[in-house]
Every structure is written in C-alpha cells, then in structure tokens.
Structure 1
Amino acid sequence: MSSAGTRVAVVTGSNKGIGYAAVMELCAKFDGTVYLTSRDEGRGRKAMEELEKLGLHPAYHQLDIDDESSVLKLRDFLVDTHGGLDVLVNNAAIIFPMMTPREEFVESIRKTIDTNFYHTMRACKILFPILRPHARVVHLTSDDGHLLKISGREPEAAALRQRFCAPDLTEPELCQLMEEFIEAAKNGDYYERGWPDSVKEREDTWPNEGYIVSKVGISALTRTHQRQFDQDPREDLTVNCVHPGYVVTDATYQKGEKTIQEGAEAACWLAMQPPSSSANNVPKGAYVWHDKQLVDWVNGPLPSIY
C-alpha cells in the first residue's frame, strides 16, 4: 500500500550494534517511517521482533550494500511506496578480526575499502537522487577517519593529506587515492609512501590500515558530497560524518566505554536536524564527534575518543 508523502528514514546495517540503536532512537523520535535493514533477512526479522517487544515499530527491507541490485531494489521500493527518502544513515561497514593472518593483509584491505568506501559511495549514488528537500544524510566514520590518521613517513604523508583535503576534491580523485593505497599495500611500501602503519605506531594493535584509510575516505567523501548538495536544486540537503565513540559492539570485541545507544546519539541528532534557516546553524559537511562537537577534520586537535 502506498504511503507517498510519509517521511522516511533508512539505516544501513542495522540489525545489531550502533545501527540497531539508531533505529531505536529514530523510532522513538523521528516523525515518519524508519527502515531497519540487514544483509541477512533472518537476522533482520529477529531484530525487528526485539524492537516490537520494546513497543517500537520499524519497517524492514533487505539491504546488502555489497550487492548493487539490492540497493537498486531498495531505491525502487522507496520510490513506489513513499515517493522518496528523507534520512539516510550509512552505518554498514566491516572490520577484519584482530587475528587476520598477515598473508591475508592485502585481501583484507581490498575487501574493507570495497565495502566501507566504494560500496557506500555507490549506495549514495543510487539513493541520493530520491532524497527530498531538507533531507539529512549521516555517514558513520571513526576517530580513525580523521585526516591526521594519514600518518606515514613524512613528507609523503603531508602530501597525501593535502590531496585528501583539497577544497575541490572530486570522487574520481578520491578513488584514485584509494587505489594508490591498495597498490602500496600490495608492494609493501605503504608506510614509505605516507600511508599509516598501525603496527609500527602501536605494537599492541593489529593491521587495520584498510579500516583507517576507508574511514578517512568516507570523511573526505562527506565534504565532497556536501559540495554537490550545495549545488543541488533541491533545498537544504545536508550530509555529515560522525565518530560514534568507543562503543561496545562486535567490532570492538564487546569492549568499549559506550553503549550502542550512546554511540548512536550523535548520528541521530544529525539525522533529525531541523530545516535550515537564518535562525539555526545546521551542520553541513562536518566531522562530528560523539559528543556532538564539530571537530576540525584537517588540523584537529582530536578530542578524547571516550
């Protein structure tokens, strides 16, 4: 049954963790229909049942951002059922386990960049055309997504940072940076080329360079997307990225300082920003910390992750 005109929010990767908590928050406060999505329909339906027991009533749609046809089906469904989209929270992402063998390092980087960066960007290309005026887009990034995390050998790292923060950076140029990193990882000289080496910087960590670069890419993409929105004839489109904090999720091996509800708080705050006017100052293209403060993405400093 069509419900064109109803405001609509979609949270990607939301059958658990921060995405699940974002659905909870939006169901309680967003004036419209909230879609919980998941790659696996069974897990998604189970999450729906849990929310129903809490008195919350999200809608459901299967979504796997790694599968272009899945994103296209969601787009067509939203157009046919609602006529458009008002809120998009891009939460879906992957991070490889701490014990990923070193010989699988390059493969893990390729898969991480694909899902976290390329396939998120592709989902945006598919869904952005159906955004309605005053739509709000939120990309989940990380403290690892700050530009200063490009911290390899200098002056090569400084040159990379300059390219990432170029005021006219295009999507193809950003993709070129991703491919240069992947090539450097294959060659084993990524640190010498300016890219981060997490093990070199902290001996107690695991190789997560792919995650770092993918999230820096998403943070940079936020700025590029906002420039596109600023030129769009639809009124008042905004996109921001947010670091949710150190949250207890599967990705952190159930460690952390924040609950999933606390981790979703800033993202939902951005998702429900009111229409812009001379009377308010809605963030646009910003890098936002978990406590809702706007952080200088280029120069820092970084607040505490906690």
Structure 2
Amino acid sequence: MTTTALITGANKGIGYETARALAARGITVLVGARDPGRGAAAVAKLRAEGADAAEVQLDVTDAASIATAAAHIDERFGALDILVNNAGIAGSFGAPSQTDLAVLREVYETNVFGVVAVTNAMLPLLRRAPAARIVNVSSEVGSIAMMMDRDGPMWQAAAVPYPSAKTALTMVTAMYAKELWDTPIKVNAANPGYCATDFNAHSGFRTAEQGAEVSVHLATLPADGPTGQHWGYRWGATDGAEYGIVAW
C-alpha cells in the first residue's frame, strides 16, 4: 500500500529536504509548489535520486488552488497519510511600533490562514489513511516563554509579523490536536531551528537537512507517539537535550 505525503512549499529549503528524506523512507512525496516550473524542477531532482515524487501546484493563499490540489490527490491516491504544512514567508522585521499592517496581513495569510485552509481541505483524505500525521512547521520565535527570557537567544528579536504568526500557528496546532484527539491522526508543530536557507539569506547556523529531520520525525511518529506538541531543536537549552518539547 502506497504511503503518501504532501509537503507545501517543497520546491526548496527545508520543504525540499523534508520531501527528500521522506522519499528515502519509501514514501511517495507530493511536492507542493506555488510555481509549477520550480515544482517540476524539484521533482526532477528528487526522481534523479530515485524518489517517487510528483508535483502538486499549490498556492496556500488561493482557495481554488487548494481545492484543485485536494481533488487531484483524491483522484490519484484516494487518501493522504502525511501533511507537512511547511510553506511560509518571513515578511519584514522591525520594531513593533513600526509594523506595516499590509505585511502583517500577508504573513498571516500564508503562515496561519493558509495552514488552516490546506488542513481543512486535506482532512477528509487524511481521515481515510490508517493513521495520518499532520506537521505544522513553526519556530522558536513563536515561543512566548523563549521570547521573554532575557538570558535566552530570542530576547533581541522584537518584531510582530513572523513571531506572532508562529505563536498563532502553535495554537492552531493544539486546537486540531484536540479535535482529532480520539482518532489515529496526530498533529504536532515542528521547530526546525535557525537553518541556513533562502528564507533568511542563508544566515542560519543549522542546515536545511537538519531542519527537515524534525518534520520527518513528527511525520513518521509511531502509534504511541505524542500529539499536540511543539517539538524540535532547542536553541539555548541548558539541560543538554538538543531536541525536545519547545516551550509555548
């Protein structure tokens, strides 16, 4: 029986490496990409490495695009085992008092509303799988506890759009986990850590491959695995545990 995984924003960066790593486990990966050309190029690279991969044109801010993608997956596979909501944008960074509301709305459209729209569209397919997994790629910058730790690495960060959107995303994750609590579906938020990608002009100290490992772990949890957690790389942890639960 084919195991299928849809990864949004999978044509590059952490999304691409997530698709690559899942494919290496024998999973059929559906590369969600807003730009068909870039999606096709990513799929070609994956197939050259032996992956079972296919492109799915998907703009998470476009209702028609989402509906078409869901219908395509339904027609071809009839179910979906893994959904990784990876697509995201950074917006702009600056003092909260200088927040541009247009940028704030744009960030939320992709990073929050897009996740809800895609998840709702794919949920009927996920329910048909034996034990589906939903992974929402979040960030430690959305952790209020870390942001308010004066001795931690997040203290210098003070911007509204991206951090607050990731805070909202962890709550979105928790709410879906509650709704699906008594089902085989597990819903978790992934914290890949500060990875060097186009997203941040390659300024991160972790690799995209390392970031993808977090999503892959949550996407392949066993039946007794957790749900409703924010889990991943723990930047600044002082207890020696590099990976674990990230504070809300």
Quote the Cα distance in structure 1 between the aligned partners of 2:159 and 2:15. 22
Deviations 1:124-160 (A, max 9, x none): 1111122123101100000012132675xxxxxxxxx
Quote the Cα distance in structure 1 between the aligned partners of 2:166 and 2:142. 4
- Residue 112 (structure 1) aligned to one of 97, 104, 107: 107
SS at match of 2:100: helix
Alpha carbons 1:138, 1:239 under 8 Å: kept? yes
Long gaps (5+) in structure 2: 149-153, 234-241
Alpha carbons 1:149, 1:212 under 8 Å: kept? no
Aligned to 1:135: 132
Quote the Cα distance in structure 2 between the aligned partners of 1:134 and 1:88. 12
State the AA in 1 paired with 2:167. Answer: V
Shift of 1:51: 2.1
Query: Please, what is the CA RMSD of the aligned residues?
Result: 2.2
Quote the Cα distance in structure 2 between the aligned partners of 1:56 and 1:126. 26
Quote the Cα distance in structure 1 between the aligned partners of 2:65 and 2:193. 30
Aligned to 1:241: 189
Deviations 1:20-55 (A, max 9, x none): 0000100101x4311111000011111122223333
State the AA in 2 paired with 1:138. Answer: V
The percent of aligned pairs where both chains have the same amino acid is 30
Deviations 1:51-72 (A, max 9, x none): 2333333111111101011111
- Residue 271 (structure 1) aligned to one of 216, 219, 224: 219
Deviations 1:270-294 (A, max 9, x none): 10112x1xxxx40111110225412
Aligned to 1:44: 39
Q: How does 1:15-30 map to 2 (within 5 A)?
A: 15-29=11-25
Q: How does 1:65-214 map to 2 (within 5 A)?
A: 65-97=60-92, 105-131=100-126, 132-148=129-145, 202=156, 208-214=159-165
Q: Does 1:13 align with 2:4?
A: no
Quote the Cα distance in structure 2 between the aligned partners of 1:209 and 1:51. 36
**TM-score of the superposed pair, with normalisation by structure 1:** 0.70
Deviations 1:177-219 (A, max 9, x none): xxxxxxxxxxxxxxxxxxxxx9xx63xx6x6311111100111
Quote the Cα distance in structure 2 between the aligned partners of 1:90 and 1:76. 18
Shift of 1:296: 3.9
SS at match of 2:81: strand
Larger Rg: 1
Aligned to 2:176: 225
Shift of 1:221: 1.0
